[in-house]
Amino acid sequence: VWAKDFMFRHGIPTAKFNIVESKSDLLSVVKEYSFPLVIKMESLQGGKGVFICENKKEVESVAEKIYGELSGEKLLVEEFLKGVEASYMVFCDGKNYVPLPSSKDHKKIYEGEKGPNTGGMGAISPAPVMTDKVIEKAKKKVIEPVIKGLREEGIEYNGIIYAGLMVENESVRVLEFNVRLGDPETQSILTRLETDILDILYPLGKEGRLSMDLDIKWDNRPSVCVVMAQYGYPGKYEKGSQIDFSKLKKEKDVYVFHAGTSLKDGKILTNGGRVLNIVAISDTITNARKKAYEKVDSLKWEKAVFRKDIGL
């Protein structure tokens, strides 16, 4: 709610919206929208607070569910935006900013963007939809007005600005902001960073400034990150499956990150919904995919699930 009001105050492009605070408010406001429409909860819901409603019946059941359990919850009602999603992040010291390469997260559990939302089942960097022209728009219409707006409102912010964007016909609109990097976008972006990240973060943290004379080097080649999850995720899942790392060979430009594992009696066990992130960099997305999926195949455990279409 705060972010949407902020965007409104500073003319940052985003979906048309209303704020409601009760079931009756909600049911009357939705009359101004066409379907599908989007309802977002104000309180943190671990990635499960956004509802895309196709008809009035679905709105009523969301209203029932939310206001049956919570009173006084603020909700956003939003116009449904069409297009392709992409993530655009910058390091920022409140005045200057340094962009990271763009990326695209694959949010849905099933291939072809179907099924419930997850924390992210894979990512690629860069996002093909983020052409030079679109990046320029993201800077001019989103990032720069955000930094200026924060300053004007007396908010000192240094850190990361993450803009979740919807891109349609080369125009950008903001879905959400985060004040952190994204998971799994980070894995596909930072593996492309050739400069020591501490050279960027240390002055930012210690002195609140970006060193603008630092020439940050990025690997020009694309990367693909595949998330290996435990069967059942994002719903209920078991923990404790053993992962066999014996077939894993060290290979240039391929990384295996632990996301939800534990070490017990010398064995590596699954200990979360999203378990491993396999990242590969290569000259083309197709080759990066091939490399990443080769590793995925050598690491599969009995209850492992993953999407086969990351970066396709």
Ligand X SMILES: Nc1ncnc2c1ncn2[C@@H]1O[C@H](COP(=O)(O)OP(=O)(O)O)[C@@H](O)[C@H]1O
Per the listing, tokens 């297009």 go with 83
Q: What secondary structure letter does DSSP report for 34?
A: P
How far, in Å, CA of 100 to CA of 89, rounded?
A: 6
Pick one of 38, 66, 121, 292: the residue that binds ligand X (CB under 6 A).
Answer: 38
Query: How is residue 167 written in tokens?
Result: 């891109």
Query: How is residue 293 written in tokens?
Result: 């999926």
Identify residues 1-60 at the interface with Mg ion (CB under 5 A): none
CB of 310 to ligand X, least distance (A): 16
Query: How is residue 21 written in tokens?
Result: 């605070």
> With CB under 5 A as the contact rule, which of the stretches 130-138, 145-153, 158-166, 197-205 interacts with Mg ion?
158-166
Minimum CB distance to ligand X smaller for 47 or for 232: 47
Q: Does 184 bind ligand X (CB under 6 A)?
A: no
Minimum CB distance to ligand X smaller for 176 or for 244: 176
**Using DSSP, how many helices (H) and how many strands (E) does the chain show?**
8, 18
What DSSP string runs through 128-144?
A: TT--HHHHHHIIIIIIH
Identify residues 76-105 at the interface with ligand X (CB under 6 A): 78, 80-81, 85
Q: Does 12 bind ligand X (CB under 6 A)?
A: no
Residue 89: closest CA among 130, 52, 29, 58: 130
Q: Does 175 bind ligand X (CB under 6 A)?
A: yes
Identify residues 151-170 at the interface with ligand X (CB under 6 A): 164
CB of 114 to ligand X, least distance (A): 12
CB contact at 8 A, 14 and 5 = no
> With CB under 5 A as the contact rule, which of the stretches 3-11, 160-168, 199-207, 260-268 interacts with Mg ion?
160-168
How far, in Å, CA of 184 to CA of 84, rounded?
A: 17
List residues binding ligand X (CB under 6 A).
15, 38, 47, 49-50, 78, 80-81, 85, 107, 117, 164, 175-176
List residues binding Mg ion (CB under 5 A).
164
